[in-house]
Homo-oligomer: A and B are copies of this chain.
Amino acid sequence: MTMKAIQKPSAEAGFKLIDTDKPSIGPDDVLIKVSTASICGTDLHITEWDQWSASRIKPPLVYGHEFCGIIDEVGANVADYHVGDYVSAEMHLPCRTCYQCMTGHFHICENCKIFGIDLDGCFAEFVKIPQWQLVKIPKSIPPEYGACLDSLGNAVHALSKGNVSGKSVLITGCGPVGLFAIRVAQALGATRVFASDISPYRLEMAKKAGATQVVDATQVTVSDEVKQLTRGRGADVVLEMSGSPIAIKDAFKALRLAGTIVLFGICASPVELNLNEDIIFKEARIIGCNGREIFQTWYLMLQLLESGKLDIDFIITHKFPLEDFGQALDLIASGNSGKVILTP
């Protein structure tokens, strides 16, 4: 039996909508019929075949790594999941034997593989996933939300590391993960959430997300604005989600003494820091953040969604059938979208 899928056919720019065999599963796998998938910035890079993609991806590859769906078939060893279960999956596949995996840090496994990057992914009618990667999703969470759990999880993970309850938070960078972070920060008890960006569309979205104050970095120096909003003290916590060296250097200035900055946004280039003023004298804490904790982040995220404290409807701005993947990519490239959902 065949299925539709979005494939990177060869080592060059572009993609192909193909008909291909449904994956056959092993004893520890499940086959999932994809309900919805979501497009990440990485998928744009893969399509454009940038330097990173060229160095990592081995075509042919079905890509896509954000989705949810219904279990269609289960392997012989699978006891806790059943046909018909509504699930999503952690697409970072840990080796489970390296030091990091053995000590509870699966999400920074030394030998991590990623579905949709190193292994066939979810831009398809069906996707094959090992049972240990699955997360059951409560019915009360709609499939459009289910497709966003990977990137929403990035925001939840970053916020957990920042420990924002009862604190003022600055989020620098309002791409999808930054926008999620605004809502998650509120849900986790941040007292005030300041959000900065340089794009009018994203600043508008940040307002919709409910940021206490939106700061246009093309008009003011963000750290000055944040200090003014905090009686000169600075933000208790900063979440850096822009990856922009200029924003990062200024983010350190916006942080209060003894504050915490979580670095999440990937930087295009190294960043020069004044360690004395920015870190040492103020006893700042800098925390690197990668992926999602497996599965602490997922359970926290589901608890937030189920409780009704976290609503992410505002961020889902567009939906396309899988066949219109090209159009969806163009939209994302324009910068004028929130999360874009595909339905196979």
Point out residues on A near B: beta carbons under 8 Å: 80, 96-97, 99-100, 102-105, 108, 110, 132, 135, 160, 163-168, 187-192, 212, 233, 248, 257-258, 263-264, 266-267, 270-276, 279-290, 293, 295-296, 298-300, 303-304, 306-307, 309
Contacts and interface: CB of A to CB of B under 8 A. Distances in A.
A29 to B, nearest CB: 13
A145 B284 CA distance: 31
7 contacts: A166-B304, A187-B189, A191-B304, A191-B306, A264-B280, A270-B275, A283-B287
Nearest to A287: B285
Contacts of A97: 80
* Pairs of residues from A and B, 7 with the lowest C-beta to C-beta distance, nearest first: A189-B189, A165-B165, A191-B307, A286-B286, A279-B288, A188-B189, A280-B288
B257 A105 contact: yes
Contact of A267 (B160, B257, B264, B276): B276
B280 A271 contact: no
Given A160-B166, A275-B248, A304-B191, A280 B270 contact: no
A166 to B, nearest CB: 5
Contacts of A304: 166, 191
Most B C-beta atoms less than 10 A away, residue of A263, A288, A289: A288
Contacts of A160: 166
Contact of A100 (B100, B258, B289, B309): B258
B192 A282 contact: no
Q: How many copies does the complex hold?
A: 4
A103 B280 contact: no
Given A165-B164, A270-B275, A295 B187 contact: no
A267 B275 contact: yes
Contacts of A298: 102
A20 B129 CA distance: 40
Contacts of A100: 257-258
A303 B191 contact: yes
Given A282-B288, A283-B288, A304-B191, A295 B103 contact: yes
Contacts of A266: 276, 280
Contacts of A103: 295-296, 299
A102 B135 CA distance: 9
Nearest to A306: B191
A290 B281 contact: yes
A287 to B, nearest CB: 5
Contact of A270 (B132, B272, B286): B272
A273 B264 CA distance: 15
Contacts of A164: 165, 189
